[in-house]
């Protein structure tokens, strides 16, 4: 990395790291992404993106690839004991569902086409405020900007000793990607619109929830929620008899989920004292892991990746002190992530989503945000 362009070293080849890498490369930086896993792939099953992240994908030119295998469902439907509580069409709110592997491949393609060097099997073990990173191999490198996007157990964050708190919730989920089986579901419930996202809740006699999310014409994302204290509900592979006894209308897709080993994830929220230290900035789960209630974990990661790239590029072009610019970036951008974190934690603690009609007020502030609008702060202040 000997040319005259600004250099960025990024730890983590997930959604946040790849978005930041692509944005920086398209703004003229030379970028390396270090992914500690030996393979470049996404963990998990499905995902929902909202306007804030979709605007970023538009900006980096990834929209056509993304839309090739994704969809916008007709409505977000909430049920309690299979009785419909609400059907929110989300008019005026841009959103899209897809599989996590498809989103990751879309971002990886955009990064490589933008000239980003993506290195698998390369772990960043340490970063210092002056922009120096150390790899597991012992190699060191110095950059104008270092980004820690290396997940909830971030080595970059921990090496900087940035204080943080971790708040856990009593619930958690197991995620599965299965065939749609729309015809079989229609045979069981002909009146149901099986293209909707359907949030099936059951609170009595026990707390169990299934979030049914069509990802495209062939694939379905299922998220099965139960309290962590419920040994049978949180078991993986899932207890098929238990889940079908509560949600018999979902038997065809639950049978597919029962064949998958899966993993149970407890809900948690990570809040840092600060996101930056010198020339180092943290984004994604390393900075702001959150409960999945608002489906904004990836969305806020991508919006912060874009705005960070813009802030760093403008600062260096203007000869502004980068650490100061990163501090200002966090001051301006963090409130939108804080809102999503706090609201998601509140929903996880109270299970208020079971009542439906939740996509209003604070719950959609982050979803409606456009991080690519130069006048966004004036708009939101108004």
Pick the closest to residue 180 from 201, 195, 163, 158 (CA basis).
195
DSSP per-residue string spanning 160-178: TT--EEEEEEEEEEEEEEE
- 316, 322 in Cβ contact below 8 A? yes
pLDDT digits (tens, 9 = 90+) for 6-35: 999 999 999 999 999 999 999 999 999 999
| CB proximity list for 154: less than 8 A, separation 6 or greater | 11, 148, 282, 285, 286, 287
- 225, 173 in Cβ contact below 8 A? yes
* CA dist., res. 354 & res. 140, Å (int): 50
pLDDT means per 10 residues, the chain with 382 residues, are 76 98 98 94 90 98 97 98 97 97 97 98 98 98 98 97 94 97 98 98 95 98 97 97 98 98 93 98 98 96 98 96 98 97 95 95 96 86 55
- The C-alpha angle with vertex 290 and arms to 285 and 294, in degrees rounded to 5, equals 125
What is the Cα 95 distance to its own chain's centre?
A: 13
Pick the closest to residue 87 from 294, 361, 358 (CA basis).
358
3-class secondary structure, 197? strand
Pick the closest to residue 234 from 242, 352, 33 (CA basis).
242
* CA dist., res. 75 & res. 19, Å (int): 28
Q: 3-state DSSP helix/strand/coil percent for the chain, to nearest 5?
A: 35, 25, 35
**Domain spans, the chain:** 7-70+96-166+269-381, 168-266
The CA-atom distances, in angstroms, between 295 and each of 47, 56, 150, 152 are: 7, 16, 19, 17
Fold identical between 7-70+96-166+269-381 and 168-266? Answer: no
Q: List the CATH code of the domain at 7-70+96-166+269-381.
A: 3.50.50.60
pLDDT attached to residue 293:
94
| CB proximity list for 77: less than 8 A, separation 6 or greater | 84, 86, 87, 88, 193, 196, 197, 198, 199
74, two tokens: 């007709």
pLDDT attached to residue 2:
43
Q: Which fold has domain 168-266?
A: D-Amino Acid Oxidase; Chain A, domain 2 (3.30.9)
DSSP per-residue string spanning 325-342: HHHHHHHHHHHHHHHHHH
* CA dist., res. 322 & res. 145, Å (int): 8
Query: Which class for 183: exposed (0-12), middle (13-18), buried (19 or more C-beta within 10 A)?
Result: exposed
* CA dist., res. 194 & res. 212, Å (int): 9
Entry pTM:
0.96
Place of tokens 């080595």: 155
pLDDT attached to residue 40:
86
218: number of Cβ within 10 Å: 11
Residues belonging to the chain: 382
pLDDT digits (tens, 9 = 90+) for 281-333: 999 999 999 999 999 999 999 999 999 999 999 999 999 999 999 999 999 99
pLDDT attached to residue 42:
78
């Amino acid at each position: 990395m000997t040319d005259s362009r600004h250099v960025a070293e990024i730890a983590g080849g997930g959604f946040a790291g790849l978005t930041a890498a692509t944005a920086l490369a398209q703004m003229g930086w030379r970028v390396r992404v270090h992914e500690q896993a030996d393979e470049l792939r996404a963990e998990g099953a499905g995902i929902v993106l909202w306007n804030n992240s979709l605007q970023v994908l538009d900006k980096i030119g990834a929209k056509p690839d993304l839309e090739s295998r994704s969809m916008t469902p007709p409505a977000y439907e909430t049920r309690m004991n299979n009785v419909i509580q609400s059907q929110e069409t989300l008019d005026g709110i841009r959103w899209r569902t897809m599989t996590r592997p498809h989103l990751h491949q879309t971002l990886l393609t955009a990064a490589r086409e933008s000239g980003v060097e993506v290195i698998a099997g390369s772990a960043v073990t340490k970063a210092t405020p002056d922009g120096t990173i150390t790899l597991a191999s012992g190699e060191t490198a110095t950059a104008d900007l270092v980004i820690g996007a290396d997940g909830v157990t971030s080595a970059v964050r921990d090496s900087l000793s940035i204080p943080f708190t971790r708040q856990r919730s009593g619930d958690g989920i197991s995620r599965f990607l299965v065939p749609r089986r729309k015809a079989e579901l229609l045979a069981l419930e002909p009146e149901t619109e099986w293209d909707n996202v359907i949030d099936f809740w059951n609170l009595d006699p026990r707390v169990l929830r299934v979030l049914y999310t069509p990802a495209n014409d062939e694939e379905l994302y299922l998220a099965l929620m139960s309290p962590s204290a419920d040994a049978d509900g949180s078991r993986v592979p899932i207890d098929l008899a238990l889940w079908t006894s509560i949600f018999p209308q979902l038997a065809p897709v639950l049978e597919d989920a029962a064949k998958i080993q899966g993993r149970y994830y407890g809900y948690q929220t990570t809040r840092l004292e600060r996101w930056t230290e010198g020339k180092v900035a943290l984004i994604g789960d390393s900075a702001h892991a959150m409960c999945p209630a608002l489906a904004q974990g990836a969305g806020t990661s991508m919006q912060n990746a874009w705005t960070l790239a813009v802030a760093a590029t403008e600062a260096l072009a203007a000869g502004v002190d980068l650490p100061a610019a990163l501090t200002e970036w966090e001051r301006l951008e963090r409130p939108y992530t804080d809102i999503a974190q706090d609201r998601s934690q509140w929903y996880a603690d109270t299970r208020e989503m079971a009542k439906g009609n939740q996509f209003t007020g604070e719950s959609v502030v982050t979803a409606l945000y456009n991080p690519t609008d130069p006048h966004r702060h004036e708009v939101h202040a108004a």
